[in-house]
Structure 1
Amino acid sequence: MTSYLVLEAPGGPDRDHRTTRFIADRFSWLALLFPWVWFAIHRMWWVAISIVVLQIAAGQVARLDGFGIIGTLFAIAVGFVAGFEGRNMVQRHLIAKGWTLKDVIVAHDLSTAEEMYFSNLPEQDQTPTLVSQPEWKTRDRVGGFMTNDPAGSFQFDLNGRR
């Protein structure tokens, strides 16, 4: 089973909870294999740029005589750190930006975690908002152009009055 961290946006959830994020607390294979791409997908630009620099440095170290294994192990270590701690770094980054950790849910998959979280939310008061209705005024005089036009198809009479 996987634990899912439920985060809500800084302004609070929208009506349909589309901004509510579920982050699985587990290993990420994409972060292991392509750590800078994974962090770029999650919009953590400085971390992605840092990882690119570290991987280039590891490649340069691997080219030196006698340091080939060390450079390769360093590049793999960067991937493992990203794979194991990447989701935790994303969660901390979002909380630093003002997101709120609402709940931690343990479930088999994401759909079950979403169902468990949204079923425990209180029902919101669904009172419809009243839209102000226009006040229709009838003319005092009888006859003439636009007398008692129920559909309101003529907004102005010929003299430009309303």
Structure 2
Amino acid sequence: MASFIVLAPELDGQRDDDKTVFVRDGFALLAFILTVPWLLVQRLWFEAAVVFGSMVLISGVGTYSGHENMAGFITALLSLLVGFEGNNWRVRALERRGFSQLGVVDARNADDAEMAWFLGENFVSSHEVSVSAPPAIPTVQASHKPALGGMVGLVSHRGEN
């Protein structure tokens, strides 16, 4: 499961739930692969300008000095940095625009995070199974046969707890 940071703006002292944003906390693969376009789509103008300028500068210095391979490696490291920090930069940019952090939701994807946030206690994921009554505990037999079940040592098979 992933963690999603919940942010919402305030209008006239009240929270505007229609503009609530859920930002995944963690590595952004698209930010790593498409570094500058991802920053531009997320409206991180300053960060995009700094990263683009750094990439151009690194490429120019690498070409001029004859170290193109090292320049490519450093550019890849810069893209990796954006992949790790991109979502944090996005949260900070939203806070500068007047959004405030409301909480953190653990969910499989952004849609589940939104449903869990707005439905609260009434939300049950489609993968969860609700149990109405605990299973009956088997009684101990007089014979001491080893119980054959879904256990291997102290670890049960998947789905059995």
Return the TM-score normalized by structure 2.
0.68
Map of 2:54 onto structure 1: 54
Runs of 4+ with >4 A deviation: none
Give the number of the structure whose alpha-carbon radius of gyration is greater. Answer: 1
Map of 1:106 onto structure 2: 106
More helix by share: 2
Task: Report deviation, 1:29.
Answer: 1.8
Map of 1:64 onto structure 2: 64
RMSD: 1.7
- In structure 2, C-alpha distance between the alignment counterparts of 1:40 and 1:13, rounded to whole Å: 27
In structure 2, stretches of 5+ residues that fail to align are: 122-161
Map of 1:97 onto structure 2: 97
Task: Report deviation, 1:42.
Answer: 1.1
Map of 1:40 onto structure 2: 40
Secondary structure of 1:62 counterpart:
helix
- In structure 2, C-alpha distance between the alignment counterparts of 1:54 and 1:43, rounded to whole Å: 18
Q: Deviations over 1:44-89 (max 9, x none)?
A: 1111111111111121122134422321111101100111110011
Task: Report deviation, 1:36.
Answer: 1.3
Question: 8 Å contact 1:13–1:19 — kept in the other structure?
Answer: no
More strand by share: 2
In structure 1, stretches of 5+ residues that fail to align are: 122-162
Q: Percent identity?
A: 25
